[in-house]
Amino acid sequence: MFVRLLLVAGAIIAALVALFIPGSPEREPYVQGRNKTALFISNIEHGLSNVHVATASALLEGYPDIEVHFASFSQLRKKLARVSAFAQAKTPAAKDIIFHELHGQPFFEAVELLGGDLESTISPPGVAGVDRFTKGLQDWISPWGVEEHMVIYNEIGAIIDEIDPAVVVLDTMMRPALDSTRDKNRVHAFVTPNTLVDNFLGDQPYGSMFWKYPAMTSGFDFPVPWRNMLENIYLNIRFIHAAMLTPNLSAKKVALRARGVKDPINFLKMHRDDVPWITMNTEGASIPVDVVPTNVTCAGPILLSVAPASEQDPELAQWVGRAPTVIINLGSGFSYPLNYVRPMVGAIVEVLTKTNVQVLWKFNKHGEYSDEELAPLKPFIESGRLQMSNWLPVDVLSLLETGDVVASVHHGGSNCFHEAVSAGVPHVILPMWVDLYNFAALSETAGIGVWGCRDTSPTWTADGISSAIIKVVDGGEASISLREKSKSLGDKLKAGEKGRDISAREIAKLAYVK
């Protein structure tokens, strides 16, 4: 009876949500420009842009007759030049990606200008953290102010007019680009690092988004346990309320409409049934859904790997090959404040003392504290079992693909998660905000990873981190199971078509004008 009540409640809530979200209006046919021309528009942050860069790279290699343009901020220029050179080495007929620089603040810089920072982002899972996240939801939906939104909107409009592309490939988090593209009624598609449960829970039948699928930030297992169902319903209601009724976002929409933007920052109607949507959803490493919209392509991991690690940095590749290696890389945007560096240092000492592994740690300092905090690591650096760097000179995927990495310690971001999945490497996930908790829970459900410090997240303890890593690398029963399941999934993905090639093929279909 209790479950049936939840089913009915979920269905009623879903129906009410549908009443408040109007259906898609009839539209004029989209404008398709010059034959064999594609324009990518994305943010610069690795977690947001990597799927677009990977797709553009595969497009150069597999469809060299297509002219590829890329609009973004200046920080992406060198990476795209490198991608072009690699594609030309594989496919001599491939051309350069034509870069168009956008002005203004990149996504995370715009978030910081609104007062967002590391401390304000970190939040616990579930009800305890939902208030903090929903309060800042407008910053993540679109962090640019009205003036800056219009600058980027107009720049992109001018680029579209100049290039006249057959298809525009969009980043879901680049709202000025989406508004400009749709106001010009251009043929477009989305490529996203998110999975189906991140974007299409509202399409699932019987209101199951409320009672079956873990809400964002929840970290619940799938399907949601009975004991967590009411909390899951509450979390989803909070997100819907925040998305629809954020006052500052509503004021921004009014101001943008007054400037001529037709339907600005429409968060709840981003997906359209006539616009292709390409996602990294991966069978065996994603929560399965009952309904997949017909225009959605599940490509699996859409990843960029420009060259083997031995070519990118022979010295580092040789070091990684000396012993089983643990890579600690918490994403491009994370740096370590003192209260996080202390438990990590303690955990690394414990792991290196109790096992035969070596550790590669991507470390960036956040705030002011003495280098003495790192002193316990000195013996391991001197013995060559620990390397620290504020940036990795090679693509992480190329290191994972060497076969010498026995654990990937990361924050639970979609790119980090899918890189390890693709390479068949077990995870140790240390989530600290929003969707990261669900990837951590998913890794345990799939039997390919461990949620480190699960009982204390987002706070770390040295014991919580070290015990998670040791569980993966010590060769015990749990370690063997994690490695075997990870390798089996990775081998399956390697035997199939690469996600970036699937994504490129879908974009190529739109780039060829019929």
Does residue 204 register a pLDDT over 50?
yes
Q: Report the distance separating Cα 287 and Cα 213, nearest Å.
A: 8
pTM: 0.92
**Please, which pLDDT band fits residue 18 given cuts at 50, 70 and 90?**
very low
Q: Among candidates 298, 272, 270, which has minimal Cα distance to 284?
A: 298
In this structure, what token pair is assigned to residue 346?
């303690």
In this structure, what token pair is assigned to residue 369?
């504290």
Q: Report the distance separating Cα 313 and Cα 209, nearest Å.
A: 45
> By mean pLDDT, which of 110-124, 142-156, 272-286, 287-301 is the weakest?
110-124
**Please, which pLDDT band fits residue 333 given cuts at 50, 70 and 90?**
confident
> By mean pLDDT, which of 70-79, 282-291, 325-334 is the weakest?
325-334
**Please, which pLDDT band fits residue 457 given cuts at 50, 70 and 90?**
very high
* Interval 457-475 mean pLDDT: 97
Q: In what order do the strands lie in the sheet with 277-279?
A: 98-101, 67-72, 37-41, 167-170, 188-192, 277-279, 296-298
Does residue 97 register a pLDDT over 70?
yes
CB 56 within 8 A of CB 505: no
Q: Report the distance separating Cα 212 and Cα 138, nearest Å.
A: 27
Q: Report the distance separating Cα 151 and Cα 145, nearest Å.
A: 10
* Interval 363-391 mean pLDDT: 95
CB 489 within 8 A of CB 418: no
* Interval 257-285 mean pLDDT: 91
* Interval 174-187 mean pLDDT: 97
Q: Which helix (H) or strand (E) holds 70?
A: strand 67-72
pLDDT on residue 2:
36
In this structure, what token pair is assigned to residue 88?
């030309």
* Interval 98-119 mean pLDDT: 79
Per DSSP, what are the bridge partners of residue 362?
A: 389
**Angle in degrees, CA 191, 236, 13, rounded to 5:** 110
Does residue 8 register a pLDDT over 60?
no
**Please, which pLDDT band fits residue 252 given cuts at 50, 70 and 90?**
confident
What domains are defined for the chain?
29-303+498-511 (3.40.50.2000), 309-495 (3.40.50.2000)
Strand, helix or coil for residue 162: helix
| Amino acid of residue 201 | L
Q: Among candidates 160, 153, 143, which has minimal Cα distance to 48?
A: 143
Q: Report the distance separating Cα 165 and Cα 388, nearest Å.
A: 44
* Interval 20-30 mean pLDDT: 67
Strand, helix or coil for residue 457: coil
CB 99 within 8 A of CB 80: yes
pLDDT tens-digit series, residues 292-320: 999 999 999 999 988 899 999 999 999 99
**Please, which pLDDT band fits residue 244 given cuts at 50, 70 and 90?**
low
**Please, which pLDDT band fits residue 10 given cuts at 50, 70 and 90?**
very low
Does residue 514 register a pLDDT over 60?
yes
